[in-house]
Chain A
Amino acid sequence: MRRVITVTVINQSGVLNRVTGLLMKRQFNIESITVGHTEQQGISKMTFIVNVEDQAKIEQLVKQVSKQIDVIKVTDITEKAIVMRELALIKVVAPPNLRPEINSIVEPFRGSIIDMGKNVITYQIVGNPEKIDAFIELIRPYGVKELTRTGATAFVRDAQVKPLPQLSILQ
């Protein structure tokens, strides 16, 4: 199970270490983690994506992280309507003769060129992690020289989808 967890923390030195150290101690596998300031001074927010076996494991994770003194709030937002974004920088081998072809792949992903060399172009792609995965998959045959991803950051949407009442007896 892939879960998206957001953690609101007091921005003290060592707090990232506390959270990741705890996850390591309890044998949780972090897929990605991002941290940054929030609208409130002194408060930071982490978004991490973890893979867990079952519901009980994720409940343990949330409870254990909540216990940390510097942690104010932990939420598993996987089931909610959320916006999630990740940024990737990808350096692709792009000799001039192939550029139109490569650009035709980049365009639907709304990637932008942020650096250009004689034979390589660096693209920036923003989107949810699946979109970035898909882009990398398509661009890989041209030769990816370097790639770096920020990890996902996310929060819940303002309007949550309410479950619709069951109108039919058919599932």
Chain B
Amino acid sequence: MNAQVPLKKQQSATDQEVDQECKASKTGAEIFVESLQNQDVEIIFGYPGGAVLPLYDAIYRNPIKHILARHEQGAIHAAEGYARVSGKPGVVIATSGPGATNLVTGITDAMMDSLPLVVFTGQVATTVVGTDAFQEADIIGITQPITKHNYQVKNVQDLPRIVKEAFHIASTGRKGPVVVDIPKNIANAIFDVDAVQEATINLPGYQPTLHPNYLQIKKAVTLLSQAKQPVVLVGAGVLAADASKELTEFVEKYKFPVVNTLLGLGSIDGDHELFLGMAGMHGTFTANMAINNCDVLLNIGSRFDDRLTGNLKKFAPNAKVIHIDIDPAEIGKNVPTEIPIVADAKEALRSLLEQPFEAQDLTLWHEYLHECQEQYPLWYGEDGDEAIYPQYAVETIHRLTDGEAIITTDVGQHQMWTAQYYQFKKDHHWVTSGGLGTMGFGFPAAIGAQFAHPDQTVISIVGDAGFQMTIQELALLKEFKLPVKIFILNNSCLGMVRQWQETFYEERYSSSLMPVQPDFVKLAEAYGIKGYKVDKVEDVESVFKKAIESDEPVLVDCRVKELTLVNPMVAPGKGLSEMIGVKKG
């Protein structure tokens, strides 16, 4: 027995040596690709350059689907669209310097909207970092305030652990972007042991709370059972936790009315009888009055953004607030909260469902809300006007897709009209830039969404101005045969800027009109895809139908009424109950 032990050891040592020899040839770049495969990454959006040549060479040799965008911003917005509809982290690669700085807008956008992204940037070699080398930018310093976390890999041995941690941080707790900066010499460095499997996460300072405190749930239940005029405000946290089912079950059980934030749309069926619409600056009158008059406000996964609350001093003046959020820092940040509950929305809703209670009789409350809906529905247009109203265009898209398409937008008027008039049937179908309000987001995001769901109808509703900010990504539609449908609500101006200038700056349209525009149809054709122009209201239905039913990419340049406003509106500094433009005329 004793004699055998050293023999065995000897043998295994030889095996190890053989193993080592095989693995000794691996570079940091190969380990990088292996780490991505370990994370089940199925697609990467990126753009190569000098500092990431080793990474791209490894991608070439170890097939992993890479989508070459036409600008780094396009790549990262596509990754955001992918992350939003699939729930998986979007992966982006860009080179050092300008490649990395071109990602800044997308990273900030993902941070504001809590989208999981893992962003890899190249960096100059560690030997020259800090010398203002060619294409060097301090991307760690630049992205520190706009990421959930960031890393610069200083030793190739750390690479597998850092990649693993980056994915973990990006996709757990309150999701967000993580940047991993990889210097070129680290990507080229020889990695001497097979540490990919052994890489363990070591994050003592990061333990998100997922399960709600039982006593807090008890308190919430007590308060909800006393509520005579309750309302449930639902934000993107419910979507991030994939808790639409639980939410619907909960509100149906107690007949609680529901309002959404912009980003929370789709968490409950847009046609549900308990759904009052979006609240906030351009929300429905009923949703805002529900918040204004409620006695208990149950906020699930919304961060009380200023576009939702309006003037904080006038926000929900009579309400006791229950706030469920996975991020403790959001609770009490803007609105004083009676019952804070730090938890994942799904876990919290399950806990609430496990504590059945007797709700108050809400008949009067529902009657009041119903009356608001009857009296002050969303409205648009003027009698006898033959122009195509943008709201009508969105309604048509809604009708033709049954509310089941994946819709992406930029920011501005078209975004608000889509939020108001496209009632989403399902969750994870709504992709928009909410917190940061990024022009040029919608179209590349649609590309990412289509990659995530090749069989679904993906529609990008964009404005003429925002679309031109990332228009170069049109090349991808043809290249990858992506049947994305683009609807430009073209009013030849920066609609929302113009609206504010009309309303608050006495119609001084400073730099907001764009009379000269490209011929979008010809542009589409130049990129090898079909384009239609619609400028008569009677053509809308037929052209939209043709576009949506096509199994190819289509661009529709829809010339909508130029001088029209998003209504109703809570003017800046006003409370939710002080809406303007609530009625026609």
> 23 A–B contact pairs at CB < 8 A?
A9-B205, A10-B204, A14-B140, A14-B144, A17-B144, A18-B144, A22-B145, A25-B145, A56-B332, A56-B336, A59-B332, A60-B329, A63-B328, A63-B329, A64-B329, A67-B327, A68-B149, A69-B148, A69-B169, A69-B203, A71-B205, A72-B204, A72-B205
Contact A17 B328, beta carbon cutoff 8 Å: no
B:188-235 near A, CB below 8 Å? 203-206
Determine how close the nearest CB of chain A comes to the CB of B155; give it in whole angstroms: 12
Does B245 make an interface contact (CB < 8 A)?
Answer: no
Q: Which residues of B contact A76 (CB under 8 A)?
A: none
* Residues of B297-344 whose CB lies within 8 A of A: 327-329, 332-333, 336
Of A17, A59, A69, most buried by chain B (CB within 10 Å of CB) is A69
Q: Which of A25-71 contact B (CB under 8 A)?
A: 25, 56, 59-60, 63-64, 66-71
Instruction: For the complex formed, measure the closest distance between the CB of A142 and the CB atoms of chain B, giving whole angstroms.
Output: 44
Q: A17 contacts which chain B residues (CB < 8 A)?
A: 141, 144
Measured CA separation A111–B206 after assembly (Å)? 43
> Which A positions have Cβ atoms within 8 angstroms of B?
9-10, 14, 17-18, 21-22, 25, 56, 59-60, 63-64, 66-72
Contact B205 A10 (CB under 8 A): yes
Q: How many contacts A-B (CB < 8 Å)?
A: 37
In whole angstroms, how far apart are the Cα atoms of A67 and B169 in the complex?
12
Residue of B nearest to A73 (CB): B205
**Chain A residue at minimum C-beta to C-beta distance from B333:** A60
User: B262 to chain A: closest CB distance in Å?
Assistant: 24
* Most central of B144, B149, B205 by chain A CB within 10 Å: B205
Chain B residue numbers with a CB within 8 Å of A18 are 144
Determine the distance from Cα of A6 to Cα of B169 in the docked complex, in whole angstroms: 24
How distant is the Cα of A92 from the Cα of B327 in the complex, in angstroms?
51
A35, B169: Cα distance in complex, Å: 26
- Assess the A69–B145 pair: CB atoms within 8 A: no
* Chain A hits for B204, CB < 8 A: 10, 72
| Residues in A neighbouring B169, C-beta threshold 8 A | 69
Given contacts A56-B332, A59-B332, A64-B329, contact A69 B144 (CB under 8 A): no
Question: In the bound complex, do residue A21 and residue B144 qualify as a contact, i.e. CB atoms below 8 Å apart?
Answer: yes
Docked pose: A18 CA to B140 CA in angstroms: 10
Q: Are A69 and B140 in contact (CB under 8 A)?
A: no
Residues of chain B with a CB closer than 8 A to A64's CB: 329
B328 near A21 with CB under 8 A, answer no
Contacts of A25 in B (CB 8 A): 145
Q: How far, in whole Å, are A66 and B148 apart by their CA atoms in the complex?
A: 12
A69 near B205: Cβ-Cβ < 8 Å: yes
User: How near does chain B come to A109, taking the closest CB pair, in angstroms?
Assistant: 39
Is there an interface contact between A68 and B140, defined as CB atoms closer than 8 Å? no
* CB-based contact A69/B149 at 8 Å: yes
Residues of A within 8 A of B327 (CB): 67
Residues of chain B lying within 8 A (CB to CB) of residue A9: 205
Q: Which residue of A lies closest to B174 (CB)?
A: A67
Q: Which residue of A lies closest to B208 (CB)?
A: A67
Task: Give the Cβ gap from A159 to chain B, nearest Cβ, in Å.
Answer: 28
Q: Which B residues, 421 to 480, have Cβ-Cβ distances below 8 Å to chain A?
A: none
A168: shortest Cβ distance to chain B, in Å? 34
Query: How many angstroms between the C-alpha atoms of A72 and B203 in the bound complex?
Result: 9
A18 to B141, CA, bound (A): 9
Query: 1/0 contact trace for B121-164 toward A, CB 8 Å?
Result: 00000000000000000001100110011000000000000000
Which residues of chain A come closer than 8 Å to B148, judged between CB atoms? 69
**In whole angstroms, how far apart are the Cα atoms of A159 and B169 in the complex?**
38
- CA–CA, A9 to B205, complex, Å? 8
B49-101 with Cβ < 8 A to chain A: none
Residues in B496-511 with C-beta less than 8 Å from chain A:
none
Contacts A60-B333, A63-B329, A64-B329 known; A70 to B144 CB distance under 8 Å?
Answer: no
Shortest Cβ gap from A121 to chain B (Å): 41
Least CB distance from B454 to A in Å reads: 35
B436 to chain A, nearest CB (A): 15
Cβ contacts under 8 Å, B141 to chain A: 17
The one of A14, A59, A69 in contact with B206, judged by C-beta atoms closer than 8 angstroms, is A69
Which residues on A sit within 8 Å (CB–CB) of B329?
A: 60, 63-64, 66-67
CB-nearest residue of chain A relative to B329?
A: A63
A30 CB to nearest chain B CB (Å): 16
Distance (Å) between the CB of B39 and the closest chain A CB?
18
Given A9-B205, A69-B148, A70-B205, 17 further pairs, Cβ under 8 A: A14-B140, A14-B144, A18-B144, A21-B145, A22-B145, A56-B332, A59-B332, A60-B332, A63-B328, A63-B329, A64-B329, A66-B329, A67-B327, A68-B149, A69-B169, A69-B205, A72-B205
Residues of chain B contacted by A21 (CB below 8 angstroms): 144-145
How far is A14 from B142 in the complex, measured between Cα atoms in Å?
A: 12
Residue of B nearest to A67 (CB): B329
CA distance A71 to B204 in the complex (A): 8
A163 to B33, CA, bound (A): 60
When the two chains form their complex, are residues B145 and A68 in contact, meaning their CB atoms are under 8 A apart? no
Query: CA of A56 to CA of B337 in the docked complex: distance in angstroms?
Result: 11
- Which of chain B's residues 324-371 have a Cβ closer than 8 Å to chain A? 327-329, 332-333, 336
Residues of B within 8 A of A63 (CB): 328-329
Min CB gap B138→A, angstroms: 11
B169, B327, B328, B329 pick with most chain A CB within 10 angstroms: B329
Query: Which 5 residue pairs across A and B have the least CB separation, nearest first?
Result: A63-B329, A69-B149, A72-B205, A69-B206, A25-B145
Least CB distance from A68 to B in Å reads: 7
Q: Which residues of A contact B149 (CB under 8 A)?
A: 68-69
CB distance from A70 to the nearest CB of B (A): 6
**Which residue in chain B gives the minimum CB-CB distance to A22?**
B145
Chain B residues within 8 Å of A69, by CB:
148-149, 169, 203, 205-206
**Contact residues in B for A66 (Cβ distance below 8 Å):** 328-329
Set of chain A residues within 8 Å of B336, measured between Cβ atoms? 56
Please give me the residue from chain A that is nearest to B144 by CB atom.
A21
Cβ contact within 8 Å between A68 and B205: yes
Q: How far is the CB of B402 from chain A (nearest CB, A)?
A: 41
Contacts of B205 in A (CB 8 A): 9-10, 68-72
Residues in B whose Cβ lies below 8 Å from that of A68: 149, 205
- A17 and B141 CA atoms in complex are apart in Å by 9
Considering only CB atoms, which chain B residue lies closest to A15 in the complex?
B205
From A22, A67, A68, name the one whose CB has the most chain B CB atoms within 10 angstroms: A67
Could you tell me which residues of chain B, from 400 to 430, have a CB within 8 Å of some CB in chain A?
none
